[in-house]
Amino acid sequence: MRLLQFLGLAFTIWMIVDAIRRRAEFWWLLIIIFFGPLGALVYFLMVKLRDYDVARLTRAWSGGPSGSLSELAYRAQETPSVSNKLALGDALAQAERYAEASDVYREVLRKDDANKQALHGMARSLLGAGKAADACEHFQRLLEMDNSYSDYSAALDYAEALWQSGQKEDAIELLTGLVRVSTRINHRVALGHYLSLSERKNEAKDVLELALRDHEHSPAFVKKRDHKWAARAEKMIRELT
């Protein structure tokens, strides 16, 4: 019984720290604190779980689609489930066969136009194929549904699509908004990168220096996780100087 109580308390503290770190809405903290492990579990399922590629984990646990492209294509044809098609689309995109990947994602979206994984994959495939303007439409729709999708990686991809399509100020505005709600150093490095490309070097340096100050005062596990981003920020500052 004591072990369960200890685990429940540890889990609750973990969710409180996560909510504070990601600057979640204040009422999430109230739910976690007042309802204890139950509130922490609700927060984990509704917020924290977005940090993980649930579809990929599900496929791994179930022994689902994994393997060569030919195997994935065979499974998608023989058992045309959404998960099999998404696995094929992701593999094609990873192999930079963007046109084929787009066809797969488009097929999924015809049946479920709100499938977030398909929207993200479609947008990234269009971006990889050099169709940044078309990619922006899909990214915008995805972020309207879930602006923190895939731990904000979709927002970073959207910024790149905006930049490539010539909407440079919109890309910077998007990332400026992102760093207001996220303290992740890679998000600030992205903002610093685009500010530097826009010749706003002093602003870029300020963003990067603030990122490094926050990184220095982060917990040990965060420092270890984000070490490469801190190193990149330091390199960028040297180049700006």
* pLDDT of res. 50: 62
Domains in the chain and their CATH numbers?
A: 1-51 (no CATH), 53-167 (1.25.40.10), 183-241 (no CATH)
- For residue 54, pLDDT over 60 is answered with no
* pLDDT of res. 59: 46
**Which whole-number Å values give the CA distances from 48 to 22, 40, 93, 204, in the listed order?**
10, 10, 26, 30
* pLDDT of res. 43: 86
Q: For residues 225 and 89, what is the distance between their CA atoms, to the nearest angstrom?
A: 29
Average pLDDT over the chain, rounded to an integer: 88
| pLDDT range class, residue 60, cuts 50, 70, 90 | very low
* Alpha helix positions (H), 22-115: 26-46, 54-61, 69-78, 82-94, 98-111
Quick one: average pLDDT of 138-142? 96
* pLDDT of res. 67: 60
**Which whole-number Å values give the CA distances from 26 to 19, 20, 33, 64, in the listed order?**
9, 9, 11, 39
